[in-house]
Amino acid sequence: MAEKILLTEFSDEMQQSFLNYSMSVITARAVPDVRDGLKPVQRRVLYAMDELGLNSDKPHRKSARIVGDAMGKYHPHGDSSIYEALVVLSQDFKKGMALVDGHGNFGSIEGDGAAAMRYTEARLKKFTQEVYLKDLDKNVVDFVPNFDENEKEPEVLPVRIPNFLLNGSEGIAVGMTTSCPTHNLSEIIDAMELLMDDPGVTTAELLKKLHGPDFPTGGIVINASDLPEIYETGKGKIRLRGRAEIVPAKKRGERDRIIITEIPYTMIGINIGKFLNDVAELAEKKVFPDIYDISNQTGKDGVRIVIELRSGADAERILNGLYKKTKLEDTFGVNMLCIVDGRPEVLSLKRILEENLRFQHELNSRKYTYLLEKEKARKEIQEGLIKAVDIIDLIIEIIRGSKKLQTAKECLMTGATAGIKFRSEASKKQAEKLNFTENQAQAILDLRLARLVGLEILALQEEHKETLEKIALYEKLLSDRKAMQNAIREDLENIRKEFALPRRTEIMDAEEAVYEEAPEEELPVLLSMNRFGYLKMYDLQVYEKNREAITEESRSMIFCMNTSRICLFTDSGLCHQFKMKDVPLSKIKDKGIPIDNISNYDSSTENILLMDAFDNLKDKMLLFVTSHAMIKKVNASEFDSVKKTISATKLNDGDKLIFVGELNGTETVLVSEGKTVLRFRNSDISVFKKSSVGVRGMKLADGDLLSAVYDFDPSVRFVVKIGGKRINLADLKLKKRDGKPDLLK
C-alpha cells in the first residue's frame, strides 16, 4: 500500500493534540459528572463491586480482586489509582457519606496510608446499594462499550441524590481544577424539594435550607456572609476553624489545657503532624513560651489534640495565636467545576440542583417506562390465562388432539384446526374462534395443572387487578410531571429517613482572631559561626562560663542583640541578611543551624568577607575593594533593607570583591599579587552609592590582581607580612589614590 503523507503546520498539530489530551484528562479522569458526582475511576470501582455481588449483607472480598476486575474490565490505567479511589471511597473522614465498607487498614485521619490491597477487604455499603446502584437492571441509564469492547459499563450511575454536593470532589486536570466541599444529606434533600416546589427560587432562599458545607471533620465555617456569593458563582474561599475548648486546671498538679476536638477539613492527613510540629516550633522559638507540652491523643473516638500551658498563661491569647499562625484556621478554595453534557462547566448551587433534578426525572421516566412495558406484558399473559381457565376443557382437548406442540399453538393463536382430532364437531367450531396472542398461547401451553385449583385462580385474578393498578399508576407518573415529582420526593424522603446524619460543621460569622505579639525582650547575645558554617546564639552568661571553648570552635563571633539583623557581604557583590530570631538559642553541645538554611547565602559559590549586625554598622562607613583595584566608600545605612538579598556593589566583568570592612583608620594600603603596593589617605576615596562600581584605587600591570587591603592609622605601628618580608605599613611612601604603585624588592 502506497504511503500517504499529510502536510500540516507543526504548531497547529501541537495545539490540537494538546486540546485532545487535556479534554481527555478533564472528562475521563479528573473531573466528576454532575449527574452522579463521580469520576470515571470511582464509577467503575462501584460498578465492578456491584457486578461481583459485594452487597452489604455478603462477606467482604479482597481489595485485590476488586481492583483486578475494575482494571481488567473497565479502567486500564494502573492498579494504584484504582486502589487509591477504593480507599478514599471507604474513608468517612474524607467523604460526607462513605460508599465502601472497608475491612482492615484503610488509612487514618492522621495521614497513615492504607495497607496493600492484598491485605484489605471491602464490600458495598447499604447506602451505596440503595442510592447509587439501585435500578441498574431497569434500563435507567445507557451502557457503553468498555475500552476493548468486550464488556459494557454504565455511562453514569443512577444516583438518586446530588452526590457532587454530598461527597464533594477534588481533582486537578489540565488547566482546570475542581474543588467542591461536602454537604449534609438532609439539607440537600430540603433544597431539592424547595426547588421542585418553586423553580424560580434564588440561591439565598436555597441557603435557608442548605446552610453551607458540612465537613466530615466538623469544625466551624466562620465566613457565613460570603456563602451566598460563593454558591451563586460556584467559586470562592471558605474560612474554616477547628473547634477548641479551654479547660482550666481542676486540681493541684494539673495544668490549664487547650483541647482541640475538631479540625479544619484541610488539616486531615499529614497536616495534623505538621500542625503538631508547627506548635512545637513556635513554643521552641518562644513565640508561645507558655506552651508546656502538646500531645496527639487522636484515636477511634475522634480527634483529640491536647496543648498544656504553663501556670499563669493567657489561654485565650494563645488560642487566637494558633488560629493566626497555624492550620487550625485555614481556607478551603471552592471551584464547583463538573462535566455537564460532556463539557466542563463551573456551576452555581441552583444549577447543580437543577441538573440533578433533570437527571432524576430522566431516571424515573426510563424506570417507569420499563416497568410499564413489563406490566403490560404481564397483563397480556394474565388475561390470556384467565380466559383460558374458562375454556380449559377445550384447550386440553386441543393439546391432546395435536401431534405437535406447534399445531396446538397455531390453533390457540389463529383457530387453525387442521391436523387436530376433536371429540365433537362443536368443540372444533369453538376452537376455530380462538385468537390468543403468541405470548398468551405460550403461557397457556406452559401452564401447570396445579394452577387450576380454585384458590390459584382467585390469586391470578387478584394479581391481574394489581397489575392493572400498577399500569394506571405508571401511566399517570409518565404523563403527569407533578405526580413524577411527588414520586421523586417520596424517594428522597425515604433516603433521608434511613440514611441522614446530623450536621457536623457549624456555620457562623466569627470575628477575626485578634493576636498581638508581645514585644520580644531585647537581650545582648553572642552569635558564633564555626568553620562548617553552623550558627549558634549564646546567652552572654553561657559565653562567660565557656569563653575558651566557644572561642576555639568559632570561625567568627559577633556581639549583638537577640533582635538584631545580620548582614553577610560576599565576594560575589551581594549582601545576604537574616534575623537573629531565626538562630536557636544554644547550649555548648548543640549543633546549631546551617547558615544556608536561614539565608540565601550559598557556601559552595560564595565567600564571606564581612559578617556583622546591622545595628553595629548602620552609623559607619564601609570600604569596598575589588580584585581589579576598584575602590569606594559606602554608608552602611544603604543596606537597611527587609529583603533577604540585595546587591552590595556593582562589579565589572570578571571582577570580584576581595575586601569589605569598616573604615576605622585614616589611610589605606593596597597590595597586588605582583608585590606592588600603594599607600594613600582615606580622604582620597570618594563616597558612592551601593549601586556604583567606584573608582580605581591603583594602577595594575596586565594580569595583575589585588590580593590584600589594609586600613590603618600611621600613628600606630602596623606590621604585615608581604612576600615573605615583614613590613611596617607606615614606612611605605605616601602617595595619591590611583598613583603609580611601588614594587617591593
pLDDT > 90 fraction of the chain, expressed in percent and rounded? 55
- The SS3 assignment for 10 reads helix
**Domains defined along the chain, listed by start:** 38-158 (3.90.199.10), 243-327 (3.30.1360.40), 524-743 (2.120.10.90)
Q: Which of 208-222, 455-469, 513-527 has the highest mean pLDDT?
A: 208-222
- Separation between Cα atoms, residue 349 and residue 710, nearest integer Å: 75
* 96-151 tens-digit pLDDT: 999 999 999 999 998 889 999 999 999 999 999 999 999 999 999 999 999 888 99
pLDDT band at 518 (very low <50, low <70, confident <90, very high): low
- Separation between Cα atoms, residue 492 and residue 593, nearest integer Å: 61
- Grid coordinates belonging to 680: 594613600
Q: What is the pTM of this model?
A: 0.74
For strands 676-681 and 734-735, give the pairing: parallel
- The per-residue pLDDT for 168 is 92
Q: For 18-32, 150-164, 201-215, 499-513, which range has the lowest pLDDT when averaged over its residues? A: 18-32
Q: Please check the confidence at residue 455 and state whether its pLDDT lies above 60.
A: no
Mean pLDDT of 490-495: 96
* 167-183 tens-digit pLDDT: 999 888 777 889 999 99
Mean pLDDT of 232-257: 90
Q: Please check the confidence at residue 677 and state whether its pLDDT lies above 80.
A: yes
Q: Looking at this protein, which amino acid is placed at residue 419? A: G
Q: Looking at this protein, which amino acid is placed at residue 719? A: V
pLDDT band at 714 (very low <50, low <70, confident <90, very high): confident
Mean pLDDT of 410-438: 85
* 585-626 tens-digit pLDDT: 888 888 888 998 889 988 888 899 999 999 888 889 999 999
For strands 524-530 and 534-539, give the pairing: antiparallel
- Separation between Cα atoms, residue 524 and residue 521, nearest integer Å: 10
- Separation between Cα atoms, residue 689 and residue 425, nearest integer Å: 131
- The per-residue pLDDT for 574 is 93
pLDDT band at 221 (very low <50, low <70, confident <90, very high): very high
Q: Please check the confidence at residue 16 and state whether its pLDDT lies above 80.
A: no
- Residue predicted with more confidence, 285 or 404: 404
- Separation between Cα atoms, residue 705 and residue 708, nearest integer Å: 10
Handedness of CA 38, 44, 47, 52 (dihedral sign): negative
Candidates 252, 261, 48, 42; CA nearest to 168 is 42
- The per-residue pLDDT for 429 is 86
Q: Please check the confidence at residue 193 and state whether its pLDDT lies above 70.
A: yes
- The per-residue pLDDT for 188 is 96
Query: What is the overall mean pLDDT for the chain?
Result: 89
Cα–Cα distances in Å, from 20 out to 25, 81, 560?
A: 9, 22, 62
Across the beta sheet with 695-696, what order do the strands follow? 657-662, 621-626, 630-635, 695-696
Residue 26: DSSP 8-state:
I
- The per-residue pLDDT for 118 is 95
pLDDT band at 243 (very low <50, low <70, confident <90, very high): very high
* 37-87 tens-digit pLDDT: 999 999 999 999 999 999 999 999 999 999 999 999 999 888 999 999 999
Q: For 12-21, 133-142, 646-655, which range has the lowest pLDDT when averaged over its residues? A: 12-21
- What residues contact residue 494 under an 8 Å CB cut-off, 6+ apart? none
Q: Please check the confidence at residue 582 and state whether its pLDDT lies above 60.
A: yes
- The per-residue pLDDT for 450 is 65
Active site residues: 119
* Complete DSSP assignment for 494-543: HHHHHH-----SEE-BPPPPP--PPPPPP-EEEEEEETT-EEEEEEHHHH
- The per-residue pLDDT for 486 is 93
Q: What is the maximum span of the chain, computed from C-alpha positions, in angstroms? A: 156
- The per-residue pLDDT for 420 is 82
Residue pair 495/160 in contact by the 8 Å Cβ criterion = yes
- The per-residue pLDDT for 22 is 62
Residue pair 396/416 in contact by the 8 Å Cβ criterion = no
